[in-house]
A and B are shown apart, each in its own frame.
Chain A
Amino acid sequence: DVKVTQSSRYLVKRTGEKVFLECVQDMDHENMFWYRQDPGLGLRLIYFSYDVKMKEKGDIPEGYSVSREKKERFSLILESASTNQTSMYLCASGLTGTNEKLFFGSGTQLSVL
């Protein structure tokens, strides 16, 4: 069964902490994505990656960075967490260049206090 696995389902952090959200996929997909989900706003794209060590900004990259050292792993980094980054974070993966469907992880609900 194909899977996108996010390391934590719930996470509580303090303002100013550095936060790492990890995502691993086992489908050998080239593309990986980080979205955040907020009520009334749907899913918004933070960053995506189309290959190892390659990354592109999405629609709301401010306050975030990403790392993709291996094809199967895509990490989202909050350099200095703030309360407005409290949200549900969803990782997704997909095949390249074909507008195909995305496969999602179960999400990480991050609370920044």
Chain B
Amino acid sequence: AQKVTQAQTEISVVEKEDVTLDCVYETRDTTYYLFWYKQPPSGELVFLIRRNSFDEQNEISGRYSWNFQKSTSSFNFTITASQVVDSAVYFCALSEARTGGFKTIFGAGTRLFVKA
């Protein structure tokens, strides 16, 4: 069975601090996809990144970076020099290839507060 665990319920940081959001997943499939989404107060989840299970290269996009480690089944997300606009709920998600993308499983989410 597939499962996504985001152990951090809430994180509070001061602007310009770096913050890492943890994500641990479980799957029996060898081919799968991992995602991060951001949900700002407006409610709409916004896609941030998608990685497949064969690509363990870390990714950097501006202040955002992702660390994918199959050995520990983790896909952690780091925001460097956080800003108030980063305040949101962040979801990690997993989709197994065998489901064809029909069953994306989401973690419980981590609420990030960035204080000015």
Chain A residues at the B interface, C-beta cutoff of 8 Å: 4, 9, 31, 35, 40-45, 48, 50, 56, 58-59, 88, 90, 92, 94-107
Contacts and interface: CB of A to CB of B under 8 A. Distances in A.
Q: What are the 10 A-B residue pairs with the smallest beta carbon separation, nearest first?
A: A99-B101, A107-B43, A43-B106, A104-B45, A101-B47, A42-B106, A42-B108, A106-B43, A99-B33, A106-B44
B102 interface: yes
B100 interface: yes
A101 to B, nearest CB: 4
A42 B107 contact: yes
Contact of B45 (A40, A44, A45, A90): A90
Interface in B68-115: 91, 93, 95, 97, 99-104, 106-109
B61 interface: no
Contacts, number: 67
A50 B100 CA distance: 11
B64 interface: no
B100 A97 contact: yes
B16 interface: no
Contacts of B4: 42
Contacts of A42: 4, 6, 91, 106-109
B49 to A, nearest CB: 9
Given A42-B4, A106-B44, 9 more contacts: A4-B44, A35-B106, A42-B6, A42-B109, A43-B93, A48-B102, A99-B99, A107-B43, A107-B44
Contacts of B102: 31, 48, 50, 56
B38 to A, nearest CB: 11
